[in-house]
């Protein structure tokens, strides 16, 4: 490669997919490897014999990194580079990104196939200490003992581990992780429990959602999330699954992940999913259900980065299971009597205020859907909304009963607020339909 450029090799599931270049002025570009025949890196970059410019590849790379600039600065300090340069950061930590993407400097291609792997078992005491560090230093997801080359998007402190045969392991070298542990958002008591309960309600109601457990390690607690972008075989081998979040799929920088910041809106997402060919009707219906679920749960953080798609060859794509669902209910009322009602991250038919959704907004949503597909009717949307609002309070109570029976710490604080506010939100929607 010419001295005018630096290069990162981008692999998907172990196959060389393309080349990320950075020129002497810092500008980025991406081009596919001519022989590559797997899934696209992103729906924003279909496989074609062209060079994608910085305005397309940079948001994708940023989406592989932690959202918090303080976290990126922390990582940059460790490797003596800039926290605002995704190329530089991923040249150090790109070997285990979300999904099946791996990035390595040009001279390190052998690391993809020949890098040895090792599992290091962790005790409950080890995990307790790590979770305490994450909680006490919430601006950084980096475990002081972790030297692995990995990157994980998102805003919360978290760590990734392997869970196998009832034991927890650190993954070194080529070994993929299977689970994410999060102690919760700083400043919100029992927030990890809140996320666990909301995810359990989604599963109870039959929605595809990442599997979760609420675990105690000594005095520390965390929600454990099973990674949907990893598949464990019967022999214990773990396979990475290619995926991207919806900001990446739409070519939007994660700093604009909220619709109110100019990021992806629900019509933008519907248009994207309507172009997923054979899976379009399934994806559109599922996304509508996700929107309704997050609205009724009072999930204020269901922005475009908290939805993802699993990518296959061509334009084949399937909406990923729900993840990162947490309700604001334990922390603030979602009553419509508030001067400024709390809002969902994405609107439904133009309405994002909790407690304000009615038939006119569902009608607009059906219009937005039918601009890209005739497979999702107003009747289907309205009946889905009614069914979900009717079933959610009982599903939530069942989850809370199970949590109480398991003596989960904090449920006596979180549970009543969830039950009260979410039931009220469901009741208001039923009254307005």
pLDDT tens for 248-285 read 999 999 999 999 988 999 999 999 999 988 899 999 99
User: pLDDT value at position 286?
Assistant: 97
Low-confidence residues of the chain: pLDDT under 70: 1-4, 138-156, 314-315, 333-340
pTM listed for this prediction = 0.92
Rounded to whole angstroms, what are the CA distances from 201 to 105, 279, 337, 394, 398? 43, 26, 26, 9, 8
How many alpha carbons lie under 13 Å from residue 269 in its C-beta half-sphere? 35
433: which residues sit within 8 A by CB, 6+ positions away?
358, 359, 362, 382, 385, 386, 389
The reported pLDDT for the residue numbered 96 is 84
Torsion of CA 56, 59, 64, 65, to 10 degrees: 150
Q: Which residues pair with 45 in a beta bridge?
A: 42
Helices (H), 275-377: 280-297, 359-370
- Domains located in the chain, CATH noted: 5-113 (no CATH), 116-226 (no CATH), 243-432 (1.10.1070)
C-alpha to C-alpha distance for 26 and 7, rounded to whole angstroms: 12
SS3 assignment, position 242: coil
Confidence (pLDDT) at 146: 39
pLDDT per position as a tens digit, 352-386: 999 999 999 999 999 999 888 777 899 999 999 99
**Minimal CA–CA distance to 102: which of 1, 226, 17?**
17
pLDDT for 32-66, tens place per residue?
999 999 999 999 999 999 999 999 999 999 999 98
Q: Residue 149's pLDDT is what?
A: 38
Residue 80, pLDDT score? 86
- How far apart CA 259 and CA 265 sit, in angstroms, is 5
For 162, left (φ over 0), alpha (ψ -120 to 50), or beta?
beta
**406, 362 in Cβ contact below 8 A?**
no
């Amino acid at each position: 490669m010419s001295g005018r450029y630096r290069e990162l090799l981008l692999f998907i599931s172990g196959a060389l997919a393309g080349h990320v270049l950075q020129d002497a002025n810092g500008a980025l570009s991406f081009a596919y490897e001519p022989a590559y025949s797997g899934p696209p890196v992103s729906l924003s970059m279909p496989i074609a014999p062209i060079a994608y410019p910085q305005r397309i590849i940079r948001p994708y790379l940023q989406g592989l990194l932690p959202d918090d600039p303080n976290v990126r600065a922390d990582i940059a300090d460790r490797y003596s580079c800039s926290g605002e340069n995704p190329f530089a950061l991923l040249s150090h930590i790109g070997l285990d990104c979300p999904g099946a993407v791996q990035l390595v400097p040009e001279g390190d291609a052998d690391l993809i196939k020949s890098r040895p792997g090792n599992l290091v078992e962790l005790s409950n005491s080890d995990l307790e200490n790590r979770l305490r560090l994450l909680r006490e230093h919430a601006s950084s997801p980096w475990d002081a003992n972790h030297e692995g080359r990995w990157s994980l998007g998102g805003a919360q402190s978290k760590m990734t581990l392997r869970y196998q045969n009832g034991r927890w392991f650190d993954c070194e070298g080529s070994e993929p992780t299977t689970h994410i542990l999060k102690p919760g958002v700083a400043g919100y008591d029992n927030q990890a429990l809140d996320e666990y309960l909301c995810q359990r309600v989604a599963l109870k109601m039959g929605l595809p959602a990442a599997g979760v457990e609420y675990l105690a390690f000594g005095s520390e607690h965390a929600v454990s999330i099973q990674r949907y972008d990893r598949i464990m075989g019967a022999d214990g081998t773990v396979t990475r699954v290619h995926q991207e979040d919806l900001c990446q799929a739409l070519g939007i920088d994660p700093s604009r992940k909220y619709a109110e910041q100019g990021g992806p809106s629900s019509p933008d997402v519907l248009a994207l999913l309507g172009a997923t060919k054979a899976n379009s009707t399934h994806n559109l219906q599922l996304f509508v259900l996700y929107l309704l679920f997050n609205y009724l749960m009072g999930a204020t953080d269901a922005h475009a980065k908290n939805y993802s798609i699993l990518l296959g060859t061509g334009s084949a794509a399937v909406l990923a299971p729900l993840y990162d669902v947490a309700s604001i209910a334990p922390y603030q009322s979602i009553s419509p009597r508030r001067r400024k009602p709390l809002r969902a991250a994405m609107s439904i038919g133009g309405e994002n205020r909790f407690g304000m959704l009615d038939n006119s907004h569902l009608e607009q949503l059906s219009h937005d859907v039918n601009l890209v597909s005739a497979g999702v009717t107003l009747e289907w949307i309205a009946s889905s909304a009614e069914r979900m609002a009717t079933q959610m309070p009982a599903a939530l109570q069942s989850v809370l009963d199970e949590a109480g029976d398991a003596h989960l710490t904090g449920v006596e604080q979180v549970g009543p607020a969830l039950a009260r506010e979410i039931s009220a939100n469901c009741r208001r929607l039923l009254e307005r339909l």
